[in-house]
Amino acid sequence: MTFTTVAAPRAYVGSPRRGPLTRLLEDERWLAMLLLLPTVALLGLFIAYPFVKGVMLSVTDARVGVPGHFVGLQNFVNVWNDGIFRVAVWNTCAYTFVATVFKLALGLWLAVLLNRHFRGKAITRAFILLPFIIPTVLSTLAWKWMFDPTFSVINWGLFRLGVIHGRINWLGDPNLALISVIIVNIWRGLPFYAITLLAGLQTISPELHEAAAIDGARAWQRFRHVTWPLLLPVTLVVTLFSVIQTFADFQLVYVLTGGGPANATQLFATYAYQIGIGTGLLSQGATISLAVFPVLLLVVIFQLFYIRKAEVH
């Protein structure tokens, strides 16, 4: 008699009992939350906390080393009645608007040029980035020398060429001073526009241009009806970043003019620094900084709305 040993089928044993944490993480909502946690912590620490701290400071009469008391919106009233603040508001708006328009126009032009094939393309692209790479303070110091009323190389050049007969007081004349700081800002911000828009341009398929050319579209028409609509989302994002950065610009003006002469180049950030650090009035400094917030919020909402709209199209 032969016995065949047949192993009794083993009872099904499930995987080891899952702990509550595992079960929790199998729920996608909880997992997503956990994965987001580091980002939320970083944003909270470096963005939300300073922002909330700034808001709290702005509703007190805090000075350096003195916590202060709650004063409601008194600081905002004071700031609104401050003539220098109003000058700073006007300067900041003019500075941002003019600089952004020029940076966008020139950046786009440069990007289109750099998108063509020519000898030395790589090295030219690398050089274009230089103003953006050099630390702002250093490059601004060089500009300061170039604008120096006595030793200006620009004046010297124009004089030698016979264009001018006297000295141009670049940073001493109130109007010229604002124009000068805007020029430096454009010079510094241009590469950011050019390179980012160039990257955008390179995502546009050449076939679209070829098709348009076959259909008889000229260069301008190809740009207007093919390139521009496809580049618009990138352009809006670049402009958004640039407006925010330009609106909150500090180092450039601080080094070039310190906000002078007679506040002709005073911006939000330089004035906030002057009041918050120079005078120790932290609450008023925070108030001036926060005054930028509603304007920037509107800009962000407006542009994000258009980006979405452009993407839908």
Query: Given the rule CB under 8 A, which of 35-43, 75-83, 110-118, 183-191 is the region that contacts another protein?
Result: 75-83
Query: Considering beta carbons, is residue 44 or 258 the nearer one to another protein?
Result: 258
**Matching residue, tokens 């050099």:** 134
- Find all residues with CB under 8 Å of 128, minimum gap 6, and list them: 110, 114, 191, 194, 195
Rounded to whole angstroms, the Cα distance separating 70 from 289 reads 18
Single out the segment in contact with another protein by CB under 8 A; choices: 143-151, 205-213, 227-235, 291-299. Answer: 143-151
Q: How far is the CB of 219 from another protein (least distance, A)?
A: 44
Instruction: CB nearer to another protein: give 128 or 256.
Output: 256
Q: State yes or no: residue 190 binds another protein (CB under 8 A).
A: no
Regarding 135 and contact with another protein (CB under 8 A), the answer is no
Q: How far is the CB of 111 from another protein (least distance, A)?
A: 34
Position 183 contacts another protein (CB under 8 A): no
Could you count the other beta carbons within 10 Å of the beta carbon of residue 84?
A: 16
Residue from 262, 300, 301, 304 that binds another protein (CB under 8 A)? 262
* Of the candidate residues 274, 283, 287, 289, the single one contacting another protein (CB under 8 A): 274
Note whether 84 binds another protein by CB under 8 A: yes
61 binds another protein (CB under 8 A): no
Note whether 148 binds another protein by CB under 8 A. yes
Give the C-alpha separation, 146 to 87, whole Å: 26
The nearest distance, CB 88 to another protein, in angstroms, is 11
Exposed/middle/buried for residue 69 (C-beta within 10 Å: 0-12, 13-18, 19+): exposed
Q: Which stretch binds another protein (CB under 8 A): 36-44, 68-76, 166-174, 184-192?
A: 166-174
Q: Which of 80, 278, 300, 309 binds another protein (CB under 8 A)?
A: 278
Q: Which residue, among 303, 307, 221, 281, has the nearest Cα to 85 in the 3D structure?
A: 281
**238 class by beta-carbon count within 10 Å (0-12 exposed, 13-18 middle, 19+ buried):** buried
Position among 24, 25, 76, 78 found at the interface with another protein (CB under 8 A): 78
For residues 96 and 104, the answer to whether their CB atoms sit within 8 Å is no
Which value, to the nearest 10 degrees, does the dihedral of the CA atoms of residues 24, 25, 27, 31 take? 130
Smaller CB separation from another protein, 130 or 277: 277
Which helix (DSSP H) or strand (DSSP E) does residue 213 occupy?
Answer: helix 206-214
The candidate with the shortest Cα–Cα distance to 199, out of 125, 127, 102, 305, is 125
Residue 68 contacts another protein per CB under 8 A? no
The CA distances from residue 21 to 17, 31, 33, in Å, are: 11, 10, 13
Q: With binding defined as CB under 8 A, does residue 174 bind another protein?
A: yes
Please pick, from the candidates 60, 96, 257, 289, the single residue that binds another protein as defined by CB under 8 A.
257
Determine contact, residues 283/75, Cβ cutoff 8 Å.
yes
Letters for 5-44 (x = contact with another protein by CB under 8 A, - = none) are ----------------------------------------
Q: Which residues contact another protein by CB under 8 A?
A: 63-66, 78, 81-84, 147-151, 167, 169-174, 177, 257-263, 274-282
